[in-house]
Chain A
Amino acid sequence: MGAKYFGASVRRKEDPRLLTGRGRYVDDIVLPRTLELAFLRSPHGHARIRSIEVRRAASVQGVRRVLTFEDLARWMKPLPIFAATPPGLAARVKFETKHAPQYAMAKDKVRFAGEIVAVVVADSRYLAEDGVDLIGVDYEPLPAVVEAEAATRPDAAVLHEEWGDNIAVAFQHAVGDSEAAFARATAVVRERFRVQRYAGMPIEPRGVIASFGAHDGSLTVWSATQVPHAIQQGLAGILELPVHKVRVIAPDVGGGFGTKAYWYPEELLVSLVALIMNRPAKWTEDRREHLLSAAQARDQLHDVEVAADHDGRILGIRDRMWLDMGAYNTWGTALPWNTVAHLCGPYRVPTLSVDVKAIVSNKAPNAPYRGAGRPEVVFVVDRALDLLARQLGMDPVELRRRNLIRPDELPYDLKMPYRDGNPLVYDSGDFPATFEAAVKAADYQQFRAEQKRLRAAGVYRGIGVSSYIEGTGLGPYEGAFVQLDLSGRLVVSTGACSQGQGLETSLAQIAADTFGVPLEWVTVIGGDTQMIPFGIGTFASRSAVLAGNAVATACTEVRRKFLEAAAKFLEVAAEDLELGDGQVQVRGVPDSAVPLGRVVQACLPTHRAPGVAQPSFEASFYHHVPTVTYANATHVAQVEVDPDTGAVKLLRYVVAHDCGRVINPMIVDGQIHGGVAQGIGGALLEELVYDESGQLLSGSFMDYLVPTAMEVPRMTTLHMQFPSPRNPLGIKGVGEGGAISPPAAISNAIEDALAPFGIRITRTPVSPSSLVTLLAEAERAS
C-alpha cells in the first residue's frame, strides 16, 4: 500500500458540512405528518405505581394518544442487553450475576427518577408536554438505594425483589500469593477512594425519528446511536419483523462517548408509535432528559492497599471495590471486569487480589463511558502510588520508573483473562519511553526546582503524573463493504459509525491509499444497516482498528478485481499494471493511462457485445480480532492552587501516548484533546448528585458543570508509534485514552501543590470547597 494519506494530517472530509451547519442530525430530519412524543418520567427514585390517570392529558387539543405500559403490553418485552459474559471469561472467573429485565416503560414500579411511565403523542412537542403535565400518577414512594456500600446492607431496600438483594455481579479474583506479598512488604498504603458518578455529555442529545411503510411493512428508524445494527436486530426481534425490513440509520451524530451505546426505551417507543399510528414519529431529547435518563457512568468506591518493598517496588495490590450500576445492569460483567483488567496498568504487579461487587441503585442505569472502568481504577492506583511515594520519601516519578514494565518483558502476560475472555497479554509498546517522553516534555526536573522557589513566595504549584494501559479494538469483528461506481469512485460502507471524531476521514485515508485513488474519490458511509448487513458499532476504541483493517482488506480485493478487468481492457497482464491517482496504466508507460471510470464502463455489456469483464467491483470483508491490542500513555498535569480559595488553575497538560501507527495525527490530537477535556470535567467539575431519596440534584447545566474552552489548557501531545502486531495496519485504538488519566494526574498535581499542608485527596471532583474543607481539617489536626 502506498502511504500518501496514511499518517498525514489531511483535513477532515466531514468538516465543511459540520462546521457550516449543514450536517444532518436526527433532529434535522423532517418528515411530513410527523407526530412528536413527550414522556412522563418518574419524579421518584423508587416508588410503586398504584394507578395512572390519563383522561385529562388525552383531552388536550392536539394530543393524539396517551400510552402506558398496559396499552403497549404486547410489545413490552425486556429490552436487548449487552450483558453476555464471554465464555472464556466465564470459564476463568467465578461470577455471581443476576439480571433484571428493563422494559421501555416502568412496569408496576419505578426504579430511578427519569424512568418512563407514560408516553404522550401530539402534533407538537409543546402540546405533548402540556399533555404530560396533566397525567396523574398515584405513586407509593419507597426507600431508595443511592450508595453502593449501603446497597449491600441487609436492611437496604431492594430494587429487584426477585433477587433478594441489590448485588448484580460479585466475584473475587487473585493472581499470585497476595498474603505472602503483604507479609513481607516494607511499606503498605491503604486508602478509600471514591470516583463520582458522571457521564458523557454529547452536544447532540439523543433523538429518534421513525417511519413505518404500511405498503411494504418496513420500518425506518434514524437514531443518534453508536450501535445501529444492535438497534436494528433488537427492533426486528421485538416487533417480529424480518431483520431486513428494519432499517436503522445513525446519521451525523454529535458525540457518543458510550452514552449512545445502549439500547434505549425511546428507540422502541418512537418506533411503536410510528407503527401503531401509521405516521412518522419523533422525539428529540432535551438536556434535562439527558441528565435524568441517558446512561450514566463511573460511581465506584475502592478500598485499596498497595504493598511495596523498601525500594518502592510494588509487591502486591489488594482492592475491594463497589461499582454502582444504577437501576439496571445492562452491560453485565463488562464494567466490573474492565475495571479489574486495567488495574495493573503499565506497572509490574506480581500479586493481585480483588473483591468486587457491582450493585444496582435508584439512579439512571450505567453504560461504559469513555474509559469504562479505566479512569476509575487508574485514579485509585495512581493516587495510591503517590501516597506510597510520600510514605517512602521518594519522588513519585522515580517510584513509577522502578515499577514500569520494560519493553524486553513484552509480550507481558498478566495471567488473567481480558474482558473478551482471551488471555490478557500486553502486546507492544515501550512504557518507559512513553513515560520519559511525557516527563521530559513537562520539564519535570525544572518544575520541581521552580516549585520550591515559588513555594517560598507563597505560590503553590504542583505536578502530577498518571499512566495507563488500555485494551483497544474490542472484537469480535467489524466489516466493510466496498464498491466502485460507474465513474471509478469508491463507496465504503461499514457498521462503525462516526460520532464526529473523524472516522469518515480516517477510513477514507486507508481506502484511498489501498486502492490508489484521490481521497476525495472516497465516500464513507457508516451507520446505515441497509448499506452493510452486519455490524457492531463504534465504541471501545474499536473502529479504526476493526473497520480500518476491514476497509483495507476489502479495498485490496476490489482493487484485485479491478486490475483483472483493466488487464483485459488494456490487453496486458494484471501484474504489468500500476494504479494510482485514480488512473491505471501499463507500468512505465504513462501514455497508456486511463481513468478508472473508463475501465468500469468498458465492463458494462452493450447491445453489440458483452463487457470486457464482469462489472463486479465490490467486496466485503469482516475483520475479526481474537482479542484487543494495548495502547498506553502517560499524562502530566501542572496546576497552581490558591490555598485560601481552593481555586485550581491548570497550567499545562502533557500527553505522551502510543496508539500504534497513527492514521491522521490531527484527528488523533483531537481525540486526545476531547478526552482530556472530559477527564478534566471528571477531575474538577462534573458530578451527577443524587439525594437520599434518589432525586437528581444536578439536573441542568447550571449544576452539572462540563468544562468549557476556558477550563481546558493548551496541551502537548506526543505520538509514540509502536505498531500493534495484532492487526495488518499496526493500529491501536485512541478514542477513549484521553479521558483515562486526567482525574489521577490532576489530583496528584493538586495534592503535590498543597504538600506543605499535608492534605490527602481521596475523591473527585476536586472542587474549591472540598479543597478548603480538606485544608481546614489539616489545619485543625496540626
Chain B
Amino acid sequence: MKPAPFHYHAPRSLDECLELLARYGAEAKVLAGGQSLMPMMNFRLARPAALIDINRLPALDHVALTDGVIRVGALVRQRRLERHAEATARIPLLREALALVGHPAIRNRGTVCGSIAHADPAAELPAALLCLDGRAVVKSRRGERAIAVEELFRGPLTTALEPDELLTEVQFSIPPAGAGSAFLEVARRHGDFALVGAAAVVQVEAGHGVKSLHLVVFGAGPGPMRSPKAEAVLVGAQATLPRIAEIRRVVSDAVKADSDLHATAEYRRRVAGVLAERAVTLAIARCAGKGVA
C-alpha cells in the first residue's frame, strides 16, 4: 500500500496552482485534506501523475457569512466548520451533518470542499449542500464560475468540474429564520458512510401550513437526491400525520439504489422513506414554535 510514483507540487499562489492544473489537466489531483485521495493512491486505485497540494494557499481558508450564504473556502477543515459557532447557529443542519462525517481525527484534516469535490454518493456534505441550495465556486486559468448544486453532482465520484478547475469555495444558503431542519442517517458504525440518509429543511407558516420543504436522500443512488414529489406532498398544505406518512411512500418509490456488501437495494429503498419521514417530522418539530399538526 504505497502509491505509484507521482510529481508533487505545492504552489504558493492561486495563479501558480491554476497554472499547474492547466498544465496537468486530468493527470493531476488536488491534495487538501487527503482523507479520500491518499487511501486511493495507496491502494494504487488512483495514480495521478501529479499532486497539487493547496495547503500553502491561505487565501482559501475562509469561513464568511455574507448575502444570506455561508462561504467556505477550499482549505477549511470539516472540524473547523463544525465548531464555527456563528455558521452552525445560522445553519444547524451543518453541525448535525458534520458530526456524522468520519471521526474527529478525520474531520481535523478532511476539508468541506474536498468532500464535495469527491462526491461520494453516501457522503454527508454533498447531501447537506443539496439540501441547503448551495453552490460551488470554481476557478481556472480561464476564469471563475459558479455551479449550482443541482448541476454539480454528475454521478458517483463525478462532478461538473473541468480537469483544469479548482473548487475554491462552496456556499451554503442560510435557511429563513424560523425554519427547522434535520439530518439523519443509518450507518453500520458511527462515522461510516451512510447506508442511507435523509436531510430536510422546512418552513412552516402559522395557519398556512408548510411554506417550503427541501428534502434530500443520500446513499441511495448515484448521488444525493432531492425529492420534488415528496416535497410537493407537504408544500402549501398542513403537515398532517397522514401526509408526512405519504412522504415515506413517495420517497421509497423514487429511490433507485444498488446493493452492496452492507445493504441491499431494497433496504435502501425502504429505509430512505423511513428516514425521509423522520427527518421531515423532526424538522417540523424544530421549526420555531411549530409542532406537527
Q: Which residues of A are in contact with B by a Cβ distance under 8 Å?
A: 125-126, 129-130, 133, 286-289, 644-647, 685, 687, 689, 697-698, 700, 702-703, 705, 707-708, 710-711, 767-769, 772-773, 776
Nearest residue (CB) in B for A125 is B2
The digit string for B153-182, where 1 denotes a CB below 8 A from any CB of A, is 000000000000000000000000000000
Check B288 for interface membership: any CB of A closer than 8 A.
no
A769 — which chain B residues lie within 8 A by C-beta?
195, 262-264, 267
19 contacts between A and B (CB under 8 A): A125-B2, A126-B2, A126-B3, A129-B1, A286-B1, A288-B1, A288-B43, A289-B1, A644-B271, A645-B186, A646-B271, A703-B262, A705-B188, A767-B263, A768-B195, A768-B267, A769-B267, A773-B266, A773-B267
Report B-chain residues with C-beta under 8 Å of the C-beta of A707.
Answer: 189
Identify which of residues 246-293 in chain B touch chain A, using a CB-to-CB cut-off of 8 Å: 261-264, 266-267, 270-271, 274-275
Bound-complex Cα distance A698 to B261 (A): 8
Q: Are A645 and B271 in contact (CB under 8 A)?
A: yes
* B4: Cβ under 8 A from any A Cβ: yes
Q: Which residues of B contact A767 (CB under 8 A)?
A: 188, 262-263
Contact A710 B44 (CB under 8 A): no
Q: Which of B186, B190, B266 contacts A768 (CB 8 A)?
A: B186
With A288-B43, A685-B188, A710-B189 known, 15 other A-B pairs at CB within 8 A are: A129-B2, A129-B44, A130-B5, A289-B1, A700-B39, A703-B262, A710-B191, A767-B262, A767-B263, A768-B195, A769-B267, A772-B267, A773-B264, A773-B266, A776-B270
Q: Are B2 and A644 in contact (CB under 8 A)?
A: no
User: Closest CB-CB distance, B165 to chain A, in whole Å?
Assistant: 28
Fill in one digit per residue for B1-44: 1 if any A CB lies within 8 Å of its CB, else 0: 11111000000000000000000000000000000000100011
Tell me whether A133 and B4 are in contact in the complex, defined as CB-CB below 8 angstroms, given that A685-B188, A703-B261, A710-B189 are known contacts: yes
Residues A710 and B266 in contact, CB atoms below 8 Å apart: no
Do B189 and A708 touch (CB < 8 A)? yes
**In this assembly, does B144 line the interface, its C-beta being within 8 Å of a C-beta of chain A?**
no
A residues less than 8 Å from B264 (CB atoms): 769, 773
Q: Which residue of A lies closest to B5 (CB)?
A: A130
Contact status of A647 and B186, CB under 8 A, knowing A126-B2, A287-B1, A769-B195: yes
Chain B residues near A689: list those with CB within 8 A: 261
B189-214 Cβ-contact flags toward A at 8 Å (1 or 0): 11111010000000000000000000
Q: Taking each of B193, B261, B275, which has the highest tally of chain A beta carbons within 10 Å of its own beta carbon?
A: B261
- Contact between chains at A776 and B271 (CB < 8 Å): no
In whole Å, how far is A774's beta carbon from the nearest beta carbon of chain B? 11
What are the residues of chain B within 8 A of A685 when measuring CB–CB?
A: 188-189
Residue pair A646, B267 in contact (C-beta under 8 Å): yes
Closest 6 pairs between A and B when the two form their complex, measured CB to CB: A769-B263, A710-B190, A769-B267, A286-B1, A644-B274, A126-B2
Q: List A contacts of B190 (CB < 8 A).
A: 708, 710-711
Q: Closest residue to B259 on the A side, CB-wise?
A: A769
Counting residue pairs across A and B whose Cβ atoms lie within 8 Å, the total is 73
Shortest beta-carbon distance from B241 to chain A in Å = 14
Query: Which residues from chain B contact A647 at a C-beta distance below 8 Å?
Result: 186
Chain B residues, Cβ within 8 Å of A711:
189-190
Instruction: With CB as the reference atom, state the residue of chain B lying closest to A703.
Output: B261
- CB nearest to B188 among chain A residues: A705
Separation of A183 and B255 alpha carbons in the complex (Å):
53
Q: Give every chain B residue within 8 A of A702 (Cβ-Cβ).
A: 193
User: How far does the alpha carbon of A324 sit from the alpha carbon of B29 in the complex, in Å?
Assistant: 43
A residues less than 8 Å from B103 (CB atoms): 708
Nearest CB of chain A from residue B186's CB, rounded to whole Å? 5
Q: Which residues of A contact B275 (CB under 8 A)?
A: 645
B residues within 8 A CB of A645? 186, 271, 274-275
> In the complex, A228 Cα to B97 Cα: how many Å?
48
| Residues of the B chain whose Cβ atoms lie less than 8 Å from the Cβ of A129 | 1-2, 44
- Shortest CB distance A423–B (Å): 44
**A707 CA to B264 CA, complexed, in Å:** 21
Q: When A705-B189, A768-B188, A768-B195 are in contact, do A133 and B263 touch as well, CB less than 8 Å?
A: no
- Set of chain B residues within 8 Å of A125, measured between Cβ atoms: 2
Per-residue CB proximity of B41-71 to A under 8 Å, as 1/0? 0011000000000000000000000000000
Residues of B within 8 A of A646 (CB): 186, 267, 271
Please indicate the chain A residues that have their CB under 8 angstroms from the CB of B262 in the complex.
703, 767, 769
User: How distant is the Cα of A769 from the Cα of B194 in the complex, in angstroms?
Assistant: 12
Complex Cα distance A308/B264, Å?
A: 38
Q: Is there an interface contact between A130 and B4, defined as CB atoms closer than 8 Å?
A: yes
Q: How far is the CA of A518 from the CA of B58 in the complex (A)?
A: 57
Give B289 Cβ to nearest chain A Cβ, in Å.
Answer: 27
CB pair B270–A772 under 8 Å, yes or no, is: yes
Please indicate which of the listed interface residues A644, A647, A769 has the most CB atoms of chain B within 10 Å of its own CB. A769
Q: In the assembled complex, which residues on chain A have CB atoms less than 8 Å from the CB atom of B270?
A: 772, 776
Q: Closest CB of chain A to B244's CB: distance in Å?
A: 14
Chain B residues near A287 (CB-CB < 8 A)? 1
Q: How far is the CA of A286 from the CA of B2 in the complex (A)?
A: 9
Query: Nearest Cβ distance between residue A180 and chain B, in whole angstroms?
Result: 45
Chain A residues, Cβ within 8 Å of B188: 685, 705, 767-768
Nearest CB in chain A: distance from B87 CB, A: 25
Given contacts A644-B274, A645-B186, A705-B189, contact A133 B266 (CB under 8 A): no
A689 to B4, CA, bound (A): 27
Nearest CB of B to A436, in Å = 34
Knowing A130-B4, A645-B186, A769-B263, the reply to whether A700 touches B43 (Cβ < 8 A) is yes
| A286-B1, A772-B270 given; A697·B261 CB < 8 A | yes
Chain A residue with the shortest CB-CB distance to B270: A772
- Closest Cβ neighbor of B248 among chain A residues: A644
What residues on A are CB-neighbors of B274 within 8 Å? 644-645
Alpha-carbon separation in the docked complex, A125 to B3 (Å): 10
A731 smallest CB distance to B (angstroms): 36
Question: CA separation between A646 and B188, bound complex, in Å?
Answer: 10
Q: Is the CB of A705 within 8 A of B192?
A: yes
A750 → B minimal CB distance (Å): 15
By the criterion CB–CB under 8 Å, are B271 and A772 in contact?
yes
- Output the nearest chain A residue to B274 by Cβ-Cβ distance: A644
A291 to chain B, nearest CB (A): 11
Inside 8 A of B3's CB, which chain A residues have their CB? 126
CA distance A773 to B267 in the complex (A): 7
**In the bound complex, what is the Cα–Cα distance between A152 and B67 (angstroms)?**
70
Q: Whole-angstrom distance between the alpha carbons of A687 and B188 in the complex? A: 12
Q: Give Cα distance in the complex from A711 to B193, angstroms.
A: 15
The residue in B2, B44, B103, B192 that gathers the most chain A C-beta atoms within 10 A of its C-beta is B2
Contacts of A703 in B (CB 8 A): 261-262
Per the bound structure, the CA–CA distance linking A465 and B176 in Å amounts to 52
Residues of A within 8 A of B271 (CB): 644-646, 768, 772
Contacts of B4 in A (CB 8 A): 130, 133
| B residues near A776, Cβ cutoff 8 Å | 266, 270
Nearest chain B residue, comparing its CB with the CB of A685: B188
Q: Are A133 and B1 in contact (CB under 8 A)?
A: no
Chain A residues lying within 8 Å of B195, measured Cβ to Cβ, are 768-769
* A70 to B270 alpha-carbon distance, docked (Å): 56
- Specify which chain B residues have a CB less than 8 angstroms from the CB of A697 in the assembled complex: 261
CB distance from B150 to the nearest CB of A (A): 28
CA of A129 to CA of B42, assembled, Å: 11
**Across the interface, which residues of B come within 8 angstroms of A773, CB to CB?**
264, 266-267
B261 engages A708 (CB within 8 Å): no
- A101 to chain B minimum Cβ distance, whole angstroms, is 30
- Nearest A residue to B267 via CB reads A769
Q: How far is the CA of A125 from the CA of B42 in the complex (A)?
A: 12
B267 touches A133 (CB 8 A): no
Please give the distance in Å from B104's CB to the nearest CB on chain A: 12
Q: Closest approach, in angstroms, between the C-beta of A473 and any C-beta of chain B?
A: 35
Closest Cβ of chain A: how far from B287's Cβ, in Å? 23
C-alpha spacing A702/B123, complex, angstroms: 13
CA distance A769 to B193 in the complex (A): 15
Q: Which residues of A contact B191 (CB under 8 A)?
A: 708, 710
Q: Which residues of B contact A687 (CB under 8 A)?
A: 261
